[in-house]
Amino acid sequence: MSIPTIRDIDVAGKRILVRADFNVPISNGEIVDDTRIRATLPTLEYVLERGGALVIASHLGRPKGKVDPQFSLAPVAERLQVLIGRDVVLASDVAGLDADSRAAQLRAGQILMLENVRFDPEEESNGDGLGRRLAHLADVFVNDAFGAAHRAHASTVGVAKFIPSCLGLLMEQEVRVLSILLEKPQRPFVAILGGAKVTDKVGVINSLLGNVDGLLLGGGIANSFLFAQGNEIGLSLADRDFAGEARRILAKAAEARIAIGLPSDVVVALDLDQPETVKSTKDLTGEDRIFDIGPDSLSSYTTVIEQAGTVFWNGPMGVFERDAFARGTLGIAEAVASSSAFSVIGGGDSLAAIEQSGLASQIDHLSTGGGASLEFLEGNSLPGIEAVRAGMGQS
């Protein structure tokens, strides 16, 4: 990789500022899923084992530039302390007096975590003031937050202007694996896209059409395409204004001889609390709401996945948080896990589904960045990576 990584840095005796993505789900003060924390451990341990000290920065939720106790990183610091087996001290501020004082006293092997960077109003506006203050806390900046790499914020981009910078081991792995999908995937290459809004993924759909051999759709995205084909979808979630673009995509795929898979049957109900039933997509009424793909659709999708050489999956097939509407998503998880294809899963809901199914260990790569992975596959540059690539830390 031409971009400098932590392997290129002598960390001994230095304070290393690691931007991590610890934006994890928390319920009643307890972390529900610590996948993102565990994913950054190799980078953190790399620094500690080589005589460096750690200053860790991360965001959590959307506190909108104000201190909000419900978004404190305290539970994250506690979990990291257990996972890494060392004391983790949490500063009371982002890059203020407490953080500055504690960072100055750091010794090799010690860990300081800053409070939620989004408590500072300059974070999301990428203010130079916060970038400078963060840079003052350390000797080297390591961006290991792939999940935030598509955000041009002070802690992902701004800080790199003022101190030598590089990528962490997680970021390095993400770029390497996703580059394989863009440049040399094993054929057939099948992408599975689900989720609520097609507008969130229209860019990656258009980009993937130039690279994949097949595209399987579920969730609100599939509903939008079904509507564009003239199907009755009742009161189902869909972007109906997208119909024209959907028809252009279908025509483009047909011309390129790329198969786009849409559900032939779906699981419907009057609402999430009503009994569900399976219907053909040709038999839907104006009162139906689609909440999952049906068994025939799952079967046909599974057949495509079984024959794939590479699989990329982002987004659920339906409202998998409800047991009645989880069969499609969990079935896709099982199909991807049991496939012999090189498999990559990105996006919080897809990761949650694969964890829920207990099959995460059978996936080749679990991407920690849903939005970032989609941006990368669209061929877009990611600000958090470009800041390091540009060598901006030559102050």
Q: Known catalytic residues?
A: 36, 197, 348, 371
The encoded tokens of residue 386 equal 């470009």
Angle CA 355–49–13, to nearest 5: 130
Q: What totals of helices (H) and strands (E) does the chain contain, helices first? A: 13, 17
Ramachandran quadrant class, 148 (left: phi over 0; alpha: psi -120 to 50; beta: rest): alpha
**Residue 167 main-chain phi, psi, to 5 deg:** -95, 150
Helix (H) or strand (E) holding 355: helix 348-356
For residue 276, give Cα distances in angstroms to 266, 267, 272, 332: 10, 6, 8, 20
Can you spell out the DSSP letters for 215-238?
A: EEE-HHHHHHHHHHTT---TT---
Composition of the chain by helix, strand, coil, percent to 5: 40, 15, 40
Contacts with 130 (C-beta within 8 Å, 6 or more apart), sequence order: 94, 95, 117, 120, 122, 123, 154, 155, 158
378: burial class by Cβ within 10 Å (0-12, 13-18, 19+)? middle
User: Are 148 and 21 in contact, with CB atoms under 8 Å apart?
Assistant: yes
* Sign of the four-CA dihedral 212, 218, 224, 228: positive
Cα–Cα nearest to 349, from 322, 376, 321, 373: 321
Residue 371: how many other CB atoms lie within 10 Å? 18
